[in-house]
Amino acid sequence: MRENIGVQVDQTMMLIMGVCFLLLGIISVAMFYFLYKYSAKRNTKTEDIHGNTPLEIIWTVVPLILVLVLFFYGWKGFENMRDIPDDAFPVKITGQMWKWGFEYENGKKSDTLFVPIDQAIRLNIYSIDVNHSVYIPAYRVKEDAVPGRENRLWFETTGLDTLVITCAEYCGLDHSVMLTYMVVLPEDKFQEWYNTPNVETTPTTTDTTGTKDTTTQSDTTSPGGDTTKPQGTTDTTNKKDTTR
């Protein structure tokens, strides 16, 4: 069983926080001790101190070990994020000013990401205009959407939930509304949705979107002029009027 990325990220962050608080404690105690010990009242004559080899070795070696430990856990997490499981369920996500669109292997499209529970999900990330960034805070994953190339990220769904997917790269005027949801469904409900041809239905969600338009996202562009995947032929994109 693969380690969960979210758990790994949280543990690494807690480790870094722990180190920070430990250093804060040590430095604060030393500071107050020196304030007392070397106060001008008690030390009228300046001492002339030249080097201290053991001390210098300690303050070189200890931080070195510390940063190597932090690097190790950072690297392990990074490796896990980059090494996408072969059985991950692929979904294409396309960012544009200012919304996200999803396309599944069977041609199904949606504005909300529907995924089955307890399943590794692979997002193949595209942008058709400027740089965006797919950010799913609850799963601790974030990856840029860059025009002209495919990026990817993966995570494993762990609970039935409706979670925020947002854009973490300032991409223009309405960047802040570039938000959608990921709905984690039980396997059977997901299959039911997945095998219903392109009609925009939201099986279990309450409508959390408000302002978002619910038209099918049609993606007729091929990022980077790469035409590896056949695209939908009809353009039904109903672009929100964003010109001001």
**Which residues are near Cu ion by CB under 5 A?**
132, 167, 171, 178
Residue with smaller CB distance to Cu ion, 176 or 201? 176
* CA-based torsion, 204, 209, 214, 220: positive or negative: negative
Query: Closest CB to Cu ion among 121 and 146?
Result: 146
Beta bridge partners of 155: 121
Least distance (Å) from Cu ion to the CB of residue 111? 15
Determine the distance from the C-alpha atom of residue 78 to the mean position of all C-alpha atoms in its chain, rounded to a whole number.
12
- Record the tokens describing residue 110, joined without a space: 């949606």
- Give the nearer residue to Cu ion in terms of CB position, either 165 or 185: 165
CA distance 202 to 19: 45
In the complex with Cu ion, which residue's Cβ is closer, 9 or 171? 171
C-alpha span between 186 and 117 (Å, rounded): 6
- The single-letter DSSP state of residue 236 is -
Minimum distance of Cu ion from residue 124's CB (angstroms): 17
Q: What's the min distance (Å) between Cβ of 10 and Cu ion?
A: 26
For 145, other C-beta atoms within 10 Å of its C-beta total 28
Nearer to Cu ion (CB atom), residue 92 or residue 108: 92
Minimum distance from residue 40 beta carbon to Cu ion (Å): 57
Instruction: Please state whether the peptide bond connecting residue 100 to the residue before it is cis, i.e. omega within 30 degrees of 0.
Output: no
Question: For 140, left (φ over 0), alpha (ψ -120 to 50), or beta?
Answer: left
Shortest spacing between CB 213 and Cu ion, in angstroms? 16
Tell me the one-letter amino acid at 244. Answer: R
Closer to Cu ion by Cβ: residue 178 or 185? 178
| Min separation Cβ 210 and Cu ion, Å | 18
Q: Among residues 46, 167, 53, which one has the least CA distance to residue 101?
A: 167
